[in-house]
Amino acid sequence: MNVGEKGTSEALAKIKIPSIRNGEFNKWFDDLSPEQFNRMWENKELRKKIEDRIRKPCGHHEWHLVARTPKFKEWGISMDDIKEMRTFTKDVKFVNPPGVHGGEGSTIAHNQILRIIDTSVDYETFVKRLNNWAEDRLENGKMGLQIGLRR
C-alpha cells in the first residue's frame, strides 16, 4: 500500500514496518514524509512496532525521546542521527535529584526533556536547551550527551 493514500485503519494495518536489519527501518523512516509518518503513528499497532524498532538494540537512552518521534521527523532528523545520538543507559547518571536511568530521578528527567521538546520551536533550540538542562541534571554536564548533541 502507498502510505500517501488516504486510507482506512484497515489499509494502515496492512503496512509492514521493516526490520532494523541492514538499516531497512532507518531508510524507511527517512523516506516517509512527516504527514505519512503521522498517519501511521496515530495507529496504535503501527506505533508500537515503530517504537520497538527505534528502541532496538535495547540498553540505550534516546535523547530524542521516542514519544516525540513525530516532532523530530517534522524537524527533519534522520533515524541514523536519532540512533547514533543515544547513550548507554548504564552511563546515564542524574544529579539534582540524583539517580540513574530507570531509577529515582529518571521520571523527573524524562518529564523535563519532554517539556524541552514540546516548547522548542526548532531542532537547534531543542539541542541548546538540552545542553543547558544537561549542565544541571547530568553527572558530567553536557559531556554526558553524545557529541552530536553538544553545543
pLDDT in tens, 96-112: 888 888 887 788 999 99
pLDDT of residue 11 exceeding 80: no
Same domain, 88 and 137: yes
CA dist 8 and 23 (Å) reads: 28
Segment 58-100, tens digit of pLDDT: 999 999 999 999 999 999 999 999 999 999 999 999 998 888 8
Mark which of 12, 32, 56 sits at the end of a domain: 56
Same domain, 80 and 127: yes
What pLDDT is recorded for position 6? 53
What pLDDT is recorded for position 12? 72
What pLDDT is recorded for position 1? 45
Same domain, 27 and 69: no
Which 8-state DSSP code applies to residue 121? S
Q: Which residues pair with 104 in a beta bridge?
A: none
Same domain, 82 and 150: yes
Same domain, 31 and 90: no
Same domain, 52 and 68: no
Phi and psi torsions of 127, nearest 5°: -65, -45
Same domain, 77 and 35: no
What pLDDT is recorded for position 8? 59
Neighbours of 121 (CB within 10 A): 8
The three cell numbers locating residue 47? 506505533
Mark which of 14, 31, 56 sits at the end of a domain: 56
Mark which of 56, 73, 90 sits at the end of a domain: 56
Phi and psi torsions of 134, nearest 5°: -60, -35
pTM attached to this predicted model: 0.87
Same domain, 78 and 151: yes
Strands (E), the chain: 60-62, 86-88, 93-94, 99-100
Same domain, 30 and 78: no
Same domain, 114 and 88: yes
pLDDT of residue 53 exceeding 70: yes
Same domain, 37 and 107: no
**Containing domain of residue 110, as a range?**
61-151
Same domain, 92 and 120: yes
- Kindly state the average pLDDT of the residues 7-13: 65
Contact present, 111 and 91 (Cβ < 8 Å): no
**Secondary-structure breakdown of the chain: helix, strand, coil percentages, each rounded to the nearest 5:** 60, 5, 35
Number of domains in the chain: 2
